[in-house]
Structure 1
Amino acid sequence: MITKSLYFPAVMALACSLGFSQDKKQQDIKSIKSMCGCYEVKFNFAETFQYAKDSASYKPSQTKHESALEWVELVEDTPNKIVMQHLLIVSDDMIIKHWRQDWLFENTDLYLFDKNTSWKYKKLDKKAVKGQWTQKVYQVDDSPRYEGTATWVHVDGQDYWANITDAPLPRREHTKRNDYNVLKRRNIHEITATGWNHEQDNDKLVRDDSGKDVLLAQEKGMDVYTKVPDIKCIAGQKWWKENNALWKNVRDKWQTLFERNKDLNLAAKVDKKALYSLLFDLKPNATKAETDAIIEKFVK
């Protein structure tokens, strides 16, 4: 028999623990959703160290500084899943569907990038992801890029999430470089007083078929998102309203493929065309059957 004097402190401790857990999760959600909205973005990348055996002939990537106006749309908002679509606003008449990020709470299913155009499915233990959020990052055609799980940190005035995971070559490199095939990314998403920063410390790796890695070079990335009034991104908001049904069909098709929980191998091109090119050519009223058929052609 448990006396009241012993039972009450135990219940209070449990209640405090649960309350703290829920408060922490709500704080995480607030941080994640604060990345939505209209932003002036500065993209900065610089190669820092080179390790090529033939250093005399090695050509490092050029330092990159670019600016853009970007709308981050909140597509899905549930207690355990937050979906955000990035749209580049070149002009009022030219909107480019950019990358997408999904945040899943205590997710156990990961597709980890292997090399080239292949991803390995991995099932995690529930205990290993307790209190964590998985960030899943997708290509412009909603095919996978990279994903990783970690804990949001809110201490000493800092508000950030950090993770290390493998990824394909970034778009700024994949048409220019063929001397490496994996980018090991250390991603830090930090919420700031003026918006948020996406900081990166990346390893450019050459991975062979046995999984052995050779480090070719390293780079630093710093993407600075500065919040501006939403009215500046009205063109992006309008474009999304006109095109969101099409891209929902695309996301739904990919989700059925991910739910197989099997390794994923994709073709880089079909009939000399990339997946994003075929999807971008579609009209907003294209049917799900059309988008499904296009995506299926690329799944090996």
Structure 2
Amino acid sequence: MLERYGFKGERELNEAKSACNRSTQGGTMCYRVGLYYAQIDTFLPEHRKFISKLWQKYILQGLPSINSKLYLSNPSFFNNIFAPATLYKIAMDLRHEGYKREAVKLFSIISKKTIREDLVLKSVANLLILNAPELAYKILKNFPYKSDKYLILLAETYYKLLDFENLKLILESMKKLPSKKALTAYYIFKINLDFFTKNSVDYKDLRKVKDLLGNLNSQEILVLGDALTKVGDISFEKKDYELAEIIFKKLYNLNYNKCYSGLELAYIYYKLGKLDIARKLIDNLSKICKNPQIKLTKYLINLRKTLADILK
């Protein structure tokens, strides 16, 4: 087997391995050593360390498409060799490339392999984005660190599971936190909870969301995407087109449920009289979405635009 990778015997393999351990550049010889270790049935600690050192930087810098193909060729090999932080990069690449099921599985594996709070919570966030709240809950229920990030993720998990009783309890804790992120999430969930349990919404809460929404980064908006979409819908129904525009524009630009958020945004532009922007957006949507409402909205926008041009 050694000859297959260009080594005449164990001595030559060991010499190559020793040289690679001293090198920071790698090279063809080092890759041959790595490939040899990758093919053997039983990994010793030295094998894991060698391959991890050799390949890690290339994975961290690699293109999502390449990393995804490499990982999918032998998932168990990568899971056994690489540290959770490296696996997280691969999981994000899988998500980016549309391998949802594989990404969900890997994020779940990462959460079990690491004790790092940030990696666990980031993995849970991605599980929620990928609509796997059951797995997210299994991780969070035994998680020891009850930070504001944890509470936001747990609240979103309960929301996705339609567990409004536990969501209500979590909101009581979130309301007391000094974190602006937690407060933003609190109002987003409170609006949803009031809508689903009381069929009414306090307009002041909508104003709070408008004032606080800038505190959330892109990843947090994606995590709260479902709940935030509902706030956008409610804002539109209440004729608060300004807030609805802010919400759906953020969701659309982040490709969150792009056809729905884009359609809502186009209709908001229509309501606000921003017909040129609305028409451009609806033209783009008609190329990528099959929603029949897009044709109707496009017709309404073009009709209103034509009338506006006539009346000039």
Fold similarity call, TM over 0.5 = no
Give the alignment's TM-score, normalised by structure 2.
Answer: 0.16
Higher relative contact order (CA 8 A, sep 6+): 1
Structure with greater strand percent: 1
Which has the larger share of helix? 2
Higher Cα Rg: structure 1 or 2? 2
